Each structure stands twice: as C-alpha cells, then as structure tokens.
Amino acid sequence: MTGNHKNINPNFRRTPAPQYTHAEIVEGVKNRDAKILGHIISKAESTIDKDQDLVYEVLDQIAIEQRSSIIAVSGSPGVGKSTFINSFGNHLVQQGKSIAVLPVDPTSQVSKGSILGDKTRMDDLVKLKGAFIKPMSSSLSLGGVAPATLLASMICEKAGFDYILIETVGVGQSEFEARFMCDCFMLLLQPGGGDDLQGIKRGIMEMADLLVVNKADGGLLDKARNSLQSYKAALKLLLPNSMGWRAKAYLYSSIEHQGQLELFEALSDYFEYLNQHNRWSVLRRDQSIYLFEKYTNDIMHQTLLQNQGLKKDYNDLIDALQEGSISINKALTRFKEKLQDELS
C-alpha cells in the first residue's frame, strides 16, 4: 500500500480521541451516555496499563443500583444471533426496557468490515433510544487481567441497563466462558431434519437455560416445528441444572418477529425463578469463583513466565520435545521440579 499516498485526502485530520475527566466518565456511565460508555469500554479493550487502571477505578466508584439481567446469546455462526438480537432487542425496548448489546466478533481483529456487518444486522436497534451497542473484539484479555467483555458487561450493569445481551463468538471454549459471565444462557438453534441433535454438542445444550429454534418462518417453519419437538424431547432427558432449573425450548423468527411475546414471558419467568430463594446471588457468587479461578490461572502462568530462568527452562523443554529428546512425562516432571526450586 505504500507509494499510494496521493490517494489519501490531504485535508484529512484524524479526530482527536475525546478527553474526559474522571468525574465526567463516572457521571456519563451513570447517565448511560453512549459516547462515554463507548469510550470507557474501549479502555477496557486497551492493552495500556493506564487505561485498564481507569476502568477499574471507574468500576470502583459506581455502586450497582439494580442488577442487570445479563443474557448470553450463543449458537453456531450463521444461526442468526445478530439478527435475533436486533429483533428481540427491539421488543425489549418496546417493553420499556433499556438494553446494552455487546456483540463479540471473532473476526473483528482481521477485518473491520465484519464489525460493520454485525452492526448492520442490528440496523433497527442502532436507531433506538434505550439501546446501546458496542461491538467487542474477541481477543481475550490482551492487556488486562480480566477479558474486556466481562469488564464491559460490568460497566453496563453499573450504568443500570435492564438487560445486557452478549452475542458470543459461537464456537469452542469461548461459549463456556460466556456461560460464567451471564445470568441466562440462551442457545439459538438452526431448524434441521431429524439429525438436529447430532449437530450440536450435548455439553453446550446442558449449559442452556433457554433454547430458541430460530428461523421459524417461510420454508423453514415445518422443519423448525419438528426440531422444537426433538429438542423438547431431548431436554426431558436432561437433569435440572445446579439452580434446579429445567431448560425450555421456543420457536422464533427474527425476520417475521414471531415468538417475541412467548420468549419475553419465558425470560421473565426465568428471572423470577432466579430472584427467588436468593438463587441469583448464589449464581453470581459461584460464577465469580469460577472466573477468579480461571483468570488467576492465567495470571499465575503469565507472572511465572516473566521469571527469566523459568522461561528459559520452559522454552528449553519445548525445544527438547521438538527434537524428540525428551518424553512428555519427563518434560512435565522436570518443569515441576524447576518450578518448585524457583518458589522455595
């Protein structure tokens, strides 16, 4: 691309990043000011220590007035998560609810275009007052100790949104992580033939609080109805989750906006259930322990490998494995010994 500078508009000036005082940020978050929320969430994504410190300070300075209902919208890529959030988010806003949407885009580091793609699928939502949307990059905790999505969700809760919708990446380990960042794990499913259940991992279905068979419209309606029956049958075989909740399944069409009322009711029932017997607090506490264990693991790993001697041993053992001069069990034993030496 170098040498192409003559195509660049000589009058172009990058708009300077807005500078807000600490007090302005705190006030802005409390007032759900979209610009300030976007600003502070981008600090949560930053790799600069000073930015991360600011996020933690701001979080510290605002008390939670009312818990947000945090919903993870999960499901394979292409199942319709973004379109669903656009449709159902609209419904929530029409019910007088304020919503924050955090789409986690797996490709956002590669291409800015896909962020816009997600944004355009949320065309209707973008225009609504009461809806705040901030696409998140899926790169986890580059700079900070906690992933940006978790911090963003905490900021939105301090801002007092009724609902926070996190669109997950839709594949792999990230789905499990999302489970521990939300109060309700909503799994979107594609209408399919009889083989629905093979396509989705049982593990992910077991994590779901609500199943939504999406795209129940047009030529897919019959298939969707059949899928709903198979999922309902499959759910009967699952044990209730640790909260004693049994997942339920619903039909939805994001294009025809069908199924909104039933799903809204289901969601309200779910949160009512969570509100009883202190379940919601217990869920949050259990999740914070899980997240603490997970991220302290990462922190310990990173911190230990900052030790030069240990890092060298670690790399030497990888080299030895590559050469085939050591077996995996010996390599692990040796590393454990080195670590114990280092810590004693």
Ligand X SMILES: Nc1nc2c(ncn2[C@@H]2O[C@H](COP(=O)(O)OP(=O)(O)O)[C@@H](O)[C@H]2O)c(=O)[nH]1
Cβ-in-10-Å burial (0-12, 13-18, 19+) of 90 comes to buried
Rounded Cα distance, 146 and 177, in Å: 12
User: Out of 52, 68, 69, 82, which residue is the one contacting Mg ion (CB under 5 A)?
Assistant: 82
Among 43, 121, 134, 158, binds ligand X (CB under 6 A): 121
123 versus 286: smaller Cβ distance to ligand X: 123
In the numeric block, which tokens belong to residue 220?
């897919």
Question: Which of 15, 244, 263 shows the shortest CA–CA distance to 163?
Answer: 263
φ, ψ of residue 71 to 5 degrees: the values are -120, 125
In the complex, minimum distance from the CB of residue 170 to ligand X, in angstroms, rounded to a whole number: 6
Residues 6+ apart with CB under 8 A from 168: 72, 73, 74, 75, 81, 104, 174, 175, 178
Site for ligand X, residues 186 to 225, rule: CB under 6 A: 214-215, 217-218, 220
Instruction: Give the 3-state secondary structure of residue 249.
Output: strand
Nearest to 339 by CA among 305, 298, 294, 302: 305
Binding residues among 289-328 for ligand X as defined by CB under 6 A: none
Complex with ligand X: residue 77 or 113, whichever CB lies closer: 77
Q: How far is Cα of residue 335 from the mean position of the Cα atoms in its chain?
A: 34
* Closest residue by Cα to residue 216 from 244, 238, 192, 198: 192
CA–CA distance, 194 with 213 (Å, rounded to integer): 14
One residue of 35, 64, 77, 261 binding ligand X per CB under 6 A: 77
Q: Among residues 36 and 100, whose Cβ is nearest to ligand X?
A: 100
Other Cβ atoms closer than 10 A to 7: 6
Nearer to ligand X, 33 or 118 (CB): 118
Residue 38 vs 106, nearer CB to Mg ion: 106
Q: Which entry of Mg ion, ligand X, none binds 217, CB below 5 to 8 A by partner kind?
A: ligand X
The interface with ligand X within residues 230-259 (CB under 6 A) comprises: 253-255
Question: Tokens 């489970």 identify what position?
Answer: 179
Q: Shortest distance, CB of residue 258 to ligand X, whole angstroms?
A: 8
How near is the Cβ of 204 to ligand X at its closest, in Å? Answer: 14
For the CB of residue 228, give the shortest distance to ligand X in the complex, in Å. 14
Contact call for residue 168 and Mg ion (CB under 5 A): no
Give the residue with the Cβ less far from Mg ion, 81 or 134: 81
Binding segment toward ligand X, per CB under 6 A, in 77-85, 125-133, 157-165, 280-288: 77-85
* Residues at the contact surface with Mg ion, assessed by CB under 5 A: 81-82
* Residues at the contact surface with ligand X, assessed by CB under 6 A: 75, 77-83, 121, 214-215, 217-218, 220, 253-255
